[in-house]
Each structure stands twice: as structure tokens, then as C-alpha cells.
Chains A and B, each alone.
Chain A
């Protein structure tokens, strides 16, 4: 039986059929019919953000912490353009997201109408796919297709632009089960010959390393389970990108810590010295590889990825395996076990003794202080006081604090770490913490921030108080754009051009103005009590943690250098970056 309804009703019906419980949005003229339908139902909760960019990052936080697609509803013109940053962020980090935008009525498109923008044109390069729906009859099927595309294959953001007259007009609703989605069906099973070839290398490898990424988390919890089994059974060392933290537990004995530009000494030297490198759901990003022609020079390389365009894009590999991480790992374990669970265990123990020597370098040690809070110390204390919480979620902004958080916090499970990796979007963390807290009522959600990033989307504190979301804002306040300042120190002769935060607000008063609690701490001896006060408070908190102003984030692979040319905290840093490295980002 076909159902007839208005376009606006279709939107709500389709979202319900897709199992959507929450949408993040902001109303405006071109989406009023949809907002009218939202008003008349109670199955879907609408979270009113304070800025459309906030809606997209909140949806990302929701998606990353649940594994379900985040849904955004915004109006035409500025509503859509404000959502562009969040969509680009989701595209870079492969986050499933469905964005619904209002559009001026079809008969006004192209007339430079009020709040008109070429939304599908603007968002074409920052979505996985997008649609302008001109007929109400096609609207519901398009929404079902959109969810399918956002969540299958390599996940990503999609956008549906809905003109206002299409929302008002009546049409026939197409059920989810009757929507045509066959055409987009990326391959999930890996090629068994290639997997067998990899198994043969696993059996012989003397110095193997697993390099995992966000693809493990996107593939689902089963992928993380299989990865843990693989590590346990083979005793291979494992490192991860920023996006993959939590897929293997930080407390696991084979964990090397994060790799890359601010990765650990042991992880990066293992990458450099290995003879078998297995990339599982990562993409050889430039933050990971360092200078390409010196990247892991002695290894055979395998790459498991669901996106064919990721394979051989920057690093050419010996064994490309196109497929979903969970499917490939399942087959890989099956084949490996059927051949007798073999590894070159004696050589691997030698490899471990080498790695343990690198570990003794204690690359994350830093010089602490009795009088000033070191940012690393603040995060160590935060970790100590929150790590046993059964439901801890961490979001971050972008910069030094983000790297320190990745270094000093441990993640035991996937979906607990939400950060902007590929795009590096300052202003991501506050709205992301909103989205995570909405999805996890009882969760302890902490946004680790720098004061500069935090200010970029601080308006979402209003959302926090409106919905009584107790997310904690833990600001490492150094009154600097810390990472910019660090690069200026290393690269531009300590000429700190525009990298300090002047005229900062009083964060305690700011918290009170938003109806939240404000805490300030500058004394390392009082830090624990202050953090406990933050954790004990039942409501949103802004924690202004005044830290050392000129602390640098180490270890660091300077741009243009290789994994074995890391700068450590106690190294001299003058002229660390050559002229060829200086042009890189």
C-alpha cells in the first residue's frame, strides 16, 4: 500500500524508518515545513545548536561515539554554507553523516532569491554524494539512498537539498525496503589469494608491525575484536594513527602508542625498522609517513582498505587488499589458523627486545614543575582520575593539546575518542562534546581544548545548558596558539606572528554567564582537587587550566624528515627543519 504525504512528512517518516533518534539542527525560512512536522511528533529528538557548524560537529560526535550516522537539518543559504566545514571534516575522517538542507522553492532557484545558494554546487567536493530533490515523489527514496551511501563502503557525509515547495507538495512515500540502492555496493570481502600471500609473510616476518587506523573503528566492533585476536595470537607489535586510537587497548602489552609526527619513539622506529608493515584501515597520511622516500625503507607492505583510491595513492604497497577490515581480518585469521598458527616467534622476541630498548627511551617524559602546571601533567592527572570511569568519552579541539591528549590518555575501546584528524578543524571539540553527551546520557564526556580552539565554537555552551548536558570543557590555557607558536619557534626564528591569545575572556565568569560552572586552576598542587570538583559537578563545567605558556609538543618528526629523525623533548631544536621541510605543512 502506498502512502501519500507531504514532503515534510516524508522527511520525518524516512528518518524514523532509518532508526534516527536525534537530529542536530537550526531552523530557517526554507525548512519551516520540516520544523512544523518535528513540532508535531516526539519520536525524534531535535537538538537546537547555536550555529550550523556546531550542528555538523555535534552530529560527528554523535556518529563517532555510536557508530550510527549523524543527522543534521539546516536552512538554505547561510545555513548550508555554515555546514560546509563540518561536512569537509566528516569527509576527511570518513564519518557517516546525513545533512538535510532547505532550499528556495524550485521556481525561484537561479533567481538569486533571499537565502539562496547553490548548495549542491558548493558541497559537491565536500560530500560523498549529494542531491537536489525537485519532485516530492522522489524525496523519500533519495533519503533512504542517502543513508545507504553515507554508511556503506567508506563512510562519509551526504547532503540532500530540499526546495521549500517540495516540502509542501504531496507525493507518494517509498518504503526503505523498496528504495533502489543496488548500484552502490562496495566490495567487502578481500581477495583470498592476496590474503593468503599476506599470511605467508606473517608466518615468516622477523620484524613485523601492525599500523592501524580509523578504518578499524568504522568497520565496527567486530573489527576491533578480530584485531585484538590477531595481535594476541601473533604477538606482533601494534601502533595506530590518531583516528584509530581505541581499536586496540592502550593497556595491551603489544601497544606501542600512536605513530607519526607526534607519535612515540618506539612506534616510529618500529615503522622505520620493520620488515613487514601491515596497514589496516589507515591511509598513509602525511602526518604518519614523514618524508616519503625514507618511509619504512626495508619493509614489505600490505594495505587493507575498503577504498581502492586509498591504496597506492602515496605509498605503493606489495600486497593491496581491497575490502572491509572485519571481513578481511576474519578471512586472514581463518587462513592463518588453517595453516597452523605459525609465526617466526624466536625472531619476533628479538624484535621485541629491540622495541623494549626503544621504550626505555621514555619519549613522553617531560620536565615537571612544582609551581606551574605542565600541560602533560594536567593530562596525566586527568587520565589518572578518569580512566576507571566505565563510560568515558574524550573529544578534543585541534593543536598541541590534541596531540598531548593522544599521547597521555589511554583508550581501551573504540568510539571513545572523537577528534578532528584529517581536516584539523579548530572548533570541533565543543560541539562534538555536545553530540557525544546527547548520545550517551550517562557518559563522562570531556572536551580537552586549547583556549584558542575552544573559543571558535564556544556558543555551543548554550546548547549544553539548554539540554542540561554535563559535558566538561577542560581547557589547557597557555594564552597562545600553541602549535602555531611551536612551528614559529622551530621554523621562523621565534617570530611569534599573531600566535598569542590577547583579550581572553574570564572563563569562570563566561561559564557562569552560560549557566555552567567555572573552575580555574594554576597550581599543580591543587590540580587534583580541582579536577575532582569538575568531575563531581552534575552539569556543564568550563575548567580553565592555566598551563606553561611555551611548552613544546614532543616527540616530533620535523616536516621533511623521516621516522628515525625524530626530535625529542631534550634535543636542541635550532635549525631542526631544513628549507625543503619548511615548505611542507
Chain B
């Protein structure tokens, strides 16, 4: 009797706590209008827009593999879907390119027809049949007004240039080089020529889930020597450690007018590189407060509120019972980076990949879209159940494919719905289910923003791994004001990458944006800056150009795109570098 009574007390106390914890930490999602007041409309319009692209990645075929690796082929073929938004023909309308790495597949280049539809023209541009392409970055490396392409593949990265209407390879990065999803374009030495930061991600297996030391290499800088010739620059950055890097983000982390780098690292802690006064980089140590999630996938940066420092969003793996910390939102507090993703309710989005901040409803608060899902199948077998059989072992055991469990058609965090986190000021609310976003639960990877109709309604393209591409047209009728900016550098790099913009609104509020379209995961977003103004009017725009000019632009037109040319504004000051 005493035992039963004790058991009852024990049980009641524990259940009581669980109920308390559920209310505190896992509030049930509110439904309907109480969730988010404004009606957000993001419709999947790929069929209507004439987009018919299915990503194919069977680069790693079973016959090429040793017996041991065959059983985990889905894992090897799991990360290569990317998308690049670019105005390739300089007509002022955004086009996009999606590579497909399978040997017999075709990459697609969609040209914007200015009516919400696209026409596929990869063959015409010489971009249909490339050698195992995984990610493309369009940028103007010689400041001539046309876009060159940095193309990474399962082999060495290459540079392509438009010659007579067709793209041709003009530069191949020297050996040793490897497959890379993570790169960013920046002008770190501020010489007016865009440089490249790149980090490899190999197909070897990690020797640890949290402190892997057998990755393919560290972060590297390639300096633009002019005429689109690049040379490895170990003077500015040298990282001998071997990591698995998924993405490289660029941001002025400490508000010092620098271009700091954040490497989203899988199987280890993220690495942060602060830019020094002389332009070189030093790895920052112990600046993250209690970083527990070690599966960094993408890096996005934004001023989430009117704060001094930008916040860095790192997508991670979230799986109850296994990996419980989820995505992170790091913000510098003057000494350390503090994660506030849980407080802002943006930490849980499954196995997250591409992420992008954008003001969906032009209310002046940047929202967040996250693509997710790793490997989806229909067998009902869950690879998380199998993983416990082999991850609890020594490092030597883990990086040998013989010791991994066979997939046998298993899903691994598959069939997950992408997230749309609407910014409410203090926190965010995920409305993806409410608006039927990502109904097919595809395995999203690269995620880019695109304003197809130049109407200030920013939509999204999600490159899904080995699945159909998702194209979301933003059809939200918010009635809010907005302004779009196309920046053209003259002494700075022509793409104005690295510029920062501050908009002053009629109510005195200031909104800050930085121009790094390659931030995120395996994607290049709309190269124009889009700023939601809410019901306010615009007073002025202040641009800090990468080369140091600080200019003020007034009399700009709201609710349309404005072209700002460096040195054509009212000069406020010239920042020394």
C-alpha cells in the first residue's frame, strides 16, 4: 500500500511538471486568424510560370562505388540542389539558373518574360550541359556589366564568361580542389574587384558528430587579380584545419565596417573569422555562448529588429530525441554572440537547410523562410531508428561506410514542411501550415528570393533535392509601401556587394540592410535590395558603398525599384579603410 501511494505521488509530481513545461515551452500552435493577423499568400506557381525542372543527382552511382558505400548512396547523393537568381540579360527582370549534376541531366536557365512566366534557355546560353554542376554564383568579376559564373561541381570549381552570347569556361581552379557547396562573393580587400571565399565539403564520412577532424579542408580566399584571374590568398586567411563547411556567410558582425566571415560547419562548431584592420582574417575563439548544435547548414544575416549588430541565423538539424537544439539566431552583444532563436520561436524547423530573411508583407520587419527535409522516401522506415546502432561508437568506426546501416529505402528527416516565420517584432510565428506552404513536403536545399514582377512582392524559389523545384509567387495584398534599390558601384565593385543601406522612414525609424546576395545555403538571391516600409513614407536612403563612400539619396520613388549609382548621391563622408 505504501509503495502504491509513493508511486502515485511520484507520478503526479512528474506529470504536473510536464504539463507546466508544455505550457511554458511548447505552446500549442494557435489556429486561424489568431495565428497571424494579416493574410499572407504564397502560391506554388511553377506550372503556371512554365517552370519544369526536376533536380537529378545520381552522380554517385552504385557501380562506381565500393561495396561498402553502396548501402548509403542516398546519403552521398543528398546535397547538391541549388538555385541562382540573376538578371542575366540585363533587362531589369530577374531570371534564374538551376544546375543538375547527374551526367545525363540538363541544367535549366529560366528567362523572365515580365508577365509572371519564364522561358527555359540554358542551351542558348551554353549552360545546359555542364560537368556535374552543383552550384552557380553569378557575379561581375571584371566590372564590365556582364555576369560571369563561378560554378562548383563534383570536380574543381570553374569560372565561365559570356562570350558572344554563350558561356565558356575561362578559368579552372587549380588542384587540389574538391566538391564545394559553400562559397561567397565579396571584395575583402576593397580593391573594387570581387573575390571568392570558398570551403570544401567532401563525400567522406565524418569521424565524429560533434568534433569531426577529417573534413576536406578549411576556408580559402581567392583574390581577384584582374581580368577574372584568381589566386589563392593565404596571406589574408589561412585555415589548416579540416572541416565540413556547408555555407559561408558574410556580415559586419561587430559593426566595424568590416566583412567578417561565418562558416556554417557540419559535425563541428561553426567557425567565425573576424576581419582585421589590415583586411586579413583571424579566427575568433570562444565567442559563441554555449553552442550546442553542431550541424551548421546555412548562414543568413539580417537586422531582425532595429539593433546595432546584425543577427546571424544558422540552420541546423532538429529531431526530437536526438538533436534538440535546432536553429540558432546569434547576435553580438559587444563581447559574445548570444543565441535567441528559442526565445524568438525560430529554432524548430526540422532538418533545416536554406534560409533567407525577406520582408514578405512589406511591414518593415524582415521575415524568415527556411527550407527543410533531408531524405524522403515512402517505405515508412526511419533512418533515425537505425542511427543509434552505429553512432555510439569510436571515431575510427564512424568514418568507415562498412559500419553504417544500410538505407534500404529509409527516410531521414523526410517529408518535412518548409517554414515561414513571420516577424511580429518580439518573436516570430510559423504560418507555413496555415497558408499551405510546401504542401508536397519536398526536401528543400537552396532557397533564394525573387521579385519576378518587380512589384515589391518578394517570392521564393526552393531547389529541392532530387525533386521538382518549388516556385512561390508572393500574391499578398498588404497595402504597405516598399522601395527597391539596385546598386551600381563605380569605384567599388560594380555589383556593390558589401554595401550597406540605411533607410530613414517618415516616422523617424531606421531600417538597415547589407548587400550579400550569396548568404544562405547553396543559393544566390535577387541582387536588388528590397525594403518594406509599412504605412510609412521614405525620407532618405543612406548607402555605405564598399569602397568607403557614404552617400545620402533623397527624392527616391517608393513602390518601385530605383537605381543608385555610386558617387551620384549626396556625399556625406568617405570612410577610410
Partners in one complex: no
Interface residues of B (CB under 8 A from A): none
